[in-house]
Structure formats: C-alpha cells, structure tokens
Amino acid sequence: MEKKYLESVSASGLFKYLKPGDYENACAELRMAPHKYMDQETIYSQDAPVKRAGIVHNGLIRGEKLLAEGTSHLAYIYSKGDVFAFEGTVSGKKTSPLDYVSEGRSVALFFDVQKIFSSSYENALIKGLLELLANDNIKKLYRVEILSRRGLRDRILAYLHVMSGNIGSQTFRINMSREQIARYLCVNRSALSYELNEMKREGIIDFTGRIFTLK
C-alpha cells in the first residue's frame, strides 16, 4: 500500500488504535485496494449487496436516498478520510442503504469489513469501527436536529452552526454546491439562495463561493 493511501486510511480513524508500523499488514489483511471513479459514476446502488466499505482518498462521493416517487435526497457528502457504506456491511441485510455516486473524479480505498473479525488486529480494528459507527450516528442526529427546524432561516443557521462546530472555526468551507445544500436541507434552491443573500445583507453571515463565515 502506497504511503499516500496510508495517510487517507489514518485520517479515517479506522486504524486509530493501531501502531503506524502495523498499517501495512492491516491493509493487507483487510484486502484494501484503491479504485478510481469518473464523474457521476455509481459506486453502490441502494439495496445492492455490499461487503466492502470505502475510504475516500481523493475527490468527493455523495450518498443519496432514493424515494418511492423516484426522486432522491442528498444524505451526505463524503470527502478525504471519510468512510462510506460500512453500515451496510455490518447490517443484517448486508445491502447498501444509499446510492453512492462519485462527485467529479474520485479515488476510494475499499476494504473487506468481515476480515476485521479474523484479523491479527481484531480488537484494535473493532474499537476503531465502533467509533466510526458512533460518529456516523452523531451526524444523523445533527441532521434530524437541522430538519426539525420549521423556518428556512433557522434550518440554514442550524446547518451552518453544525459545520462551524465540526471545523472549530467561524470561517469554514462547505463541500456542497447550492443545489446540494438545498437537497440536504430539503428546501427549494431559489428560496435557499434568496435567504442566504438576505442573511449576508443583514450581516448575519458572509460567504464567497463555498467559504462561509458566521458573524
């Protein structure tokens, strides 16, 4: 496994309780391998069988939930170091909960989750996996909190405060486009753009492109 890939694995937190010197062997035991994807290429389809989780190395990957009426809403945007699809690999059904699609060109490192339970580093890897699951659950709770806000402005502010808290700064970059933010917040894109501009005019926030500052 090349050093550049090990850096992404380290950033994911999966190997948090391993010694750096054990990373190479752990990657080999989990059969970790990189895969490249083109823009808008589907990695996993919702409800498809899945046994290998991925770690984003380059680019962005979005997770979308397909709705009964044929539309979809944006659940997550995964960036460098984020782990995706692992919920499905440890679930009873062993199927993907979302559509995972490459946003632009991307590279993901895939590993066989079931190999964790027969690995030489089983205990350390399970601890890392449990933390990943806990962090993912916290993300879901944040989204429930955001979507529980009735007013558009309240929903936007709740989202921006979560992003700010994750970074630990009043100024932060959002990986999503305006269309994707609207889909994530389950609001109309035009209404979102109008409200953002009003909030900027009133001095509540400032933004240039994807860089936002909470005032």
Distance CA(143)–CA(45), nearest Å, equals 22
pLDDT of residue 36: 97
Distance CA(10)–CA(16), nearest Å, equals 7
Q: Enumerate the H helices of the chain as residue ranges.
A: 3-12, 23-29, 86-90, 122-147, 152-167, 178-185, 189-201
Contact 23, 81 (CB under 8 A): no
- For the chain, the average pLDDT equals 92
Along the 215 residues of the chain, how does pLDDT read in single tens digits? Answer: 788 899 999 999 999 999 999 999 999 999 999 999 999 999 999 999 998 999 999 999 999 987 766 677 888 889 999 999 998 998 889 999 999 999 999 999 999 999 999 999 999 999 999 998 898 888 888 888 998 998 999 999 999 999 999 889 999 999 889 988 998 898 999 999 999 999 999 999 999 999 999 99
- CATH class entry, domain 149-214: mainly alpha
Q: What is the CATH number of domain 3-136?
A: 2.60.120.10
pLDDT of residue 70: 67
Going from N- to C-terminal start, the domains of the chain cover 3-136, 149-214
Q: Which residues pair with 72 in a beta bridge?
A: 66
Query: 0.85 exceeded by the pTM?
Result: no
**DSSP code of 34?**
E
